[in-house]
Amino acid sequence: MVGEITMKKYILNSFVAAAILFTAACKPEIETPAGTTAGQANFSKYIAVGNSLTSGFADGGLYLEGQQVAYPNLIAAKMATVGGGAFTSPFFSDAQSNGSGYVALTALVNGTPTITPVVDKLAYRDAAKHLTKYSGEIQNLGIPGMRVDLSFDPTLTFSAANPYFERLLTDAQVGKTNYFQFIQGRNHTFFSLWLGNNDVLGYALNGAVTIAGDPTTVLTDKVTFSSLYSNLLNALTAGGQKGIVATIPDVTAIPYFNTVTVPALLAAAKAINPAAQAVFIQTGTGAVRAATAEDLIRLPFQSAGLFGQGAIPYGLHPLNPITSDWVLDKDEVIKVKDYVDSYNSSIKSLATSKGLAIADTYTYFNQVKTGIALQGVNINSAFITGGAFSLDGIHLTPRGNAVIANVFIDAINTKYGSTIPTIDITKYRGVKFPDTK
Amino acid sequence: MKKILLSVLLSAPLWVLGQGFQVNLQGQKQIGMAGAGSALALDEASVFYNPGAVTFLEKNSVSAGVNPLLFKSAFKQSGSNVTENVKNKIAPPFEFYAVWGPKSNRWKLGLGVYTPFGGLVDWGNDWSGKYSLTSLNLKAIYFQPTLSIKITDHIGIGAGFVYNHGEVNLQRAVPVNFPDGRSGHTTLDGTGKGYGWNAGLYIKTLSNISFALVHKSKVVTKLDGGTAEFDVPNSVRSSFPAGNTFNAELPLPATTSLGVGIPLSQSTVLAFDASWVQWHVYQDLTFNYAQKVNGSFVTKSDRNYRDGSSFKLGINHKASDKLALRAGVGYAFSPVQDGYVTPEAPDADRYILSAGIGYTPTSHFEVNASFFFEDVKSRKQKNIETGLDGTFKTLVYAPGISLTYKW
C-alpha cells in the first residue's frame, strides 16, 4: 500500500519533471553577436561631454527623471555587457528630484495644450537660484547651455554665471575655471562629444537677436568653432582614447520653430476677423513686411498672449508687427542653416582625421522631421504628439533619448567592431498626457 | 490660434494571418503522417481531407479529437542581446467527425467540425513589439455537412458546405503615455461568420495507387459590430472614443491539394500531398469604425500576401490487427513576403515532423494519438509599416488524441 503510493508519487513527479524539462528544452533560440565584444574600443571608463542634451535636460528643466534617461546614461548601461564600467552622473536627490523645475502638460482640450510649471521638490539652495551642489566623481559631464566657444571662456566667469556648471564646482573653482579645464584629467578610456548646438541655437532661440553682454546669444564664428573643436578633440584623445562625436541637428528641425506657423496664425486671425489679410513681422534688418510660411515663429509665442492684442492688433498690422526677437525670418533661417552646415563639416572632418566614430544626428533628426516608424512607434518632430521632443520643443523625451542613444551605439559598433546591444526604445515614454479631460 | 492638431499617433491596428494561422491538425491519423492523406480513405477525417474519399470508408463512424498546441515563438530585436518569448499558452484545436451511409448504397453523409485556422499568441504587455501586438486569440471553427458519392468502384466525388464561426481578440499597446508613464492599450474583440465549400475527387486505380484532387474554397469571414476599446489618457479620449465598434473582413484562403496514395505492401501505405494555399486574397486589412479613431473612420493596412504551398509525405504501417504506426515529414513555404512579417504570425518557411500511433482494441473502438512538430525557420525582418526590426524564431508542438466509435 505504502509502496503503491510512493510509486504513484514517483510517476507523478516524473511526469511533472518531464513536462518542465520539455517546456524548457523546446524553447526557440536566436543567436546573435550582440553584447559579446568591445571590438577595438575600451569602454571601462566612458565620459560624456556636451550640453543640455547630454545632461538629460527636458521639458524646460533639468530634473532627475530626465537625468536618468539621458542618452549617455542609456548607452553606458548597454556598454556594461561589453566591458563598460560604472557611469556616474550628478543626479539630483530624491528629495530635490525636480531639480531646476520643469513644465508638465496639465490639460489638452480640443488639441489646445495647457503647460504648467512643476515647482515642488526643487533643488535651489538660495534666492539667487543657485542649485544644490553636487560633489563626487562624475562621468556625465553634460552642462545645459554649454557651448564650444564658452568651453574656452577666457574670463572664467561662465563657471559662475551658469547655475548647472556652478553646481558641479567647489567654491574654490567657481569663477576660476572653464569647461575645457573641467573635462580634462578624468582618466577616461572612451568619450562622446556632442557639443556646438548652442553656438547657433543660443542665437536662433532669441530670434537671431544677439543681446549685448550676453555671450549665450552670440553666433560663434565658423573658423573659431573649427579651431576650438579641434582643441577639444586633441584634449579628449590625448591618451590615444577612442570616442564618438555627434553632428549638430538643424535647429529648424525642432518643434520650437515649427509649431507656431505663419499659416496657422493667419488662419486663427481669420477665424476671428475674416478681413485679416496677413501676419506682419519685423525682420532681422528692422524691415516690416507680411510674413510667409518660410518665416519661423518661436514656440513660446503661442502662450505669450500678444497676438492680435492692442488697438492696432499685434502682428496683424504693419504698424504693430511681431517683433524680431520672436521671429527667425527666412534670411535668418538661411544664415543659421549655413552655420550649422559649416560646424558639421568641421566636426566631421576633424573626427575623421582622428579616426573617431560619428553619430550623424543632423541627418537623423531630418528623418525624424518627416517621420519614422521604429519598433511599432511612429516618431516625428510634431510638438507634444511626435514622441521625440519634450514640452520645451527643443530637448528630447525619454523615448527621444533612447532613439538617439541607438544612433550613437550603431555608429560606435560600426566604427570599432564592438557589439554594444541596442536599446529597446519601447521601454521609454514620450510626452505624458494628462488623464483628466 | 493655440490649436495644435493631434497628428497621427499610431498606425492602423494590425491583423495578420499567415501560414502560422493555418492549423494543419484535422485528424489524428493524418497528423501522424505530417498532414498527408487526401488520397487515402483512412477514416472519417476524410470529410476534411477529401470528401470524395468518404464514400469509400467501410464503416459508419463518429470520432472526436483534440490537439493541444503550444506555439513557442521568440523575438530578438536587431542589435539587442535580449530574447523575448511568448507566454506558454495552450491553444486547443479540435475535430469532430461523423460519417453515415447505408452499407449497400453508393453514397455517404458526413459532418465535420474542425478548426483549420487559429492562433493564440501572447507576448505580454511589456515586450519590445508591444506597439505592434501584445496578444492575439483567433479561432475559426468550420462546420461542414458533406455528401460523398461513389461514381464507379474506383471513383468517388464529394462536396461539403462550410459555415465558419470566427472569433478574434486582438490587443496591443498604444504609444500614448499616461501621467505615470505607462502606455495606452487597445483591445479589438469580435465574432463573425463566413461561408464556403470543400469538394474532392478520389480515384483508386487498378494497381491500388490512389489519387486525390481537393479544393477548399476561400471563406471570407465578416466581422460586424466588434468592440474597439481604447484605454488611453482622458485628455486624448476624444481621438479614441469610448464604446466604439468596428467591421472588418477576414479572407481565409482557398487551398487546392493534389494527393497520391501508394501501397507498399498489404500493411504499409505511403501518402503524399502537395497543397497550394491561395493567400493572395489577403492584400490588405481594413477596419471600418463606427466612430473616428484618431481622425479617421477607416484604417487600411497593406499585407500583400503571396500564395503559400506545402509538401507532405507520410507513412502508415499496420504492425498488427490492433496496432498502427505512422510518421511523416513536410515542408511549407510561407505566404508572407519580406517586410510584412509581424508578431501575430511570425511566419517563415517551415519543416514539419510527425509521428502517430493507433490502437484498435475491438472492431468498434479505436484510439489514435499523434505528435506534430513544426520548426519555423529563423527570420530577420524589418516590418515596412511598423518598423519592428528583429529576428523571429518559432517552434510548434502539438500532441493529440482522438477516440472513434465505428459500426
3-state secondary structure B361-379: CCCCEEEEEEEEEEEEEEE
Q: Give the dihedral of Cα atoms A312, A314, A316, A318; nearest 10 deg.
A: 70
The Cα–Cα gap between A131 and A123 comes to 5
Does residue B353 belong to the interface with chain A, where contact is any CB pair within 8 Å?
Answer: no
Mean pLDDT, chain A, rounded, equals: 93
d(CA B406, CA A123): 83
Residue A265 confidence (pLDDT): 93
Region A219-243 average pLDDT: 97
Chain B hits for A113, Cβ within 8 Å: 2, 4
At residue B2 the predicted structure's pLDDT band, cuts being 50, 70 and 90, is very low
Mean pLDDT estimate for chain B: 90
Q: How far apart are CA B380 and CA B128, in angstroms?
A: 15
Residue B195 has pLDDT above 70, yes or no: yes
pLDDT of residue A91: 98
Share of chain A above pLDDT 90, in %: 82
Average pLDDT for B74-85: 94
The size of the A-B interface in CB pairs under 8 A is 165
Q: How far apart are CA A201 and CA A216, in angstroms?
A: 9
Res B302: pLDDT: 84
How far, in Å, are A162, A282, B179 from residue A165 at the CA level? 5, 35, 31
Q: What's the average model confidence in pLDDT over B46-58? A: 96
Backbone angles phi, psi at A113, to 5 degrees: -85, 145
Residues 6+ apart with CB under 8 A from A186: A45, A47, A139, A141
Confidence of residue A193 (pLDDT cuts 50, 70, 90): very high
Give the whole-angstrom CA distance, residue B14 versus residue B287: 9
Q: Model confidence over A257-281: pLDDT tens digits? A: 999 999 999 998 998 888 888 999 9
- How confident is the model at residue A272, as a pLDDT? 86
Q: Using alpha carbons, list the distances in angstroms from residue A35 to A68, A81, A152, B389.
A: 22, 5, 38, 18
Q: Residue A17 has what pLDDT?
A: 65
Q: What is the mean pLDDT of residues A129-149?
A: 96
Q: Which of B93-97, B247-251, B283-287 has the lowest mean pLDDT?
A: B283-287
Which of A385, A409, A428, A437 is the mutation pick for testing B, counting most B CBs within 10 A? A385
Residues A80, A86: Cα–Cα separation, whole Å: 8
Mean pLDDT of B181-208: 95
Whole-model pTM: value is: 0.91
Assign A241 a pLDDT band (cuts: 50, 70, 90).
Answer: very high
Compute how many other C-beta atoms are within 10 angstroms of the C-beta atom of residue A229: 24
Residue (of A105, A167, A98, A171) closest to A138 by Cα position: A167
**A429–B378 C-beta distance less than 8 A:** no
CA B173 to centroid of chain Cα atoms? 25
pLDDT at residue number A14: 65
The DSSP secondary-structure symbol of B13 reads: P
- CB contact at 8 A, A44 and A84: yes
Closest to B352 (Cα-Cα) out of B332, B336, B368? B332
As a whole number, mean pLDDT of residues A27-51 equals 94
User: What average pLDDT does range A294-317 have in this prediction?
Assistant: 92
Locate the DSSP E strands across A84-166. Answer: 102-109, 112-118
pLDDT at B11 over 60: no
ipTM here: 0.88
- Per-residue pLDDT, A110: 79
Cβ pair A23:B178 closer than 8 A: no
Over residues B329-338, the pLDDT tens digits come to: 999 999 999 9
d(C-alpha A374, C-alpha A384), whole Å: 18
| pLDDT interval class at A299 (50, 70, 90) | very high
What length does chain B have? 407
What is the 8-class DSSP label of residue A246?
A: E
pLDDT at A424 over 50: yes
Could you give the percent of chain B with pLDDT greater than 90? 80
Pick from B2, B173, B235: CB nearest A437 = B235
Q: What is the pLDDT of residues B379-400, one digit of tens each?
A: 999 999 999 999 999 999 999 9
Report chain A residues whose CB lies below 8 A from the CB of B10: 378
* pLDDT level of residue B90 (50, 70, 90 thresholds): confident
Quick one: pLDDT at residue B284?
84
Is a pLDDT exceeding 70 seen at residue A327? yes
- pLDDT tens-place string over residues B94-114: 999 999 999 888 999 999 999
Residue ranges with strand state E in A229-324? 242-246, 280-282, 288-290, 296-297
* Dihedral sign computed on CA atoms, order B232, B235, B236, B237: positive
Residues of B in contact with A375 (CB under 8 A): 77, 128-129, 131-132, 386-389
Q: How far apart are CA A99 and CA A299, in angstroms?
A: 23
Contact A27 B79 (CB under 8 A): no
| B14: pLDDT strictly greater than 70 | no
- Quick one: closest CA in B to A36, which residue? B81
The answer, yes or no, to whether residue B296 has pLDDT greater than 80, is yes
Place of cell 562625436: A245
Beta strand spans in A263-366 (E):
280-282, 288-290, 296-297, 327-328, 357-359
Element (H or E) spanning A272, and its range?
helix A262-272
Q: Is residue B297 classed as helix, strand or coil in its secondary structure?
A: strand
Provide the shortest C-alpha distance from residue B283 to chain A (in Å): 20
> Quick count: other Cβ atoms within 10 Å of Cβ B243?
9
What is the model's pLDDT at position B9? 33
Angstrom distance (rounded) from CA A51 to CA A47: 13
For residue B4, pLDDT beyond 70: no
H or E element, residue A411:
helix A398-416
Least Cα distance to B374 among B49, B67, B50 occurs for: B67
Cα-flanking dihedrals φ and ψ of residue B135, to 5°? -155, 155
pLDDT band per the 50, 70, 90 thresholds, residue B1: very low
Q: How far apart are CA A199 and CA A43, in angstroms?
A: 29
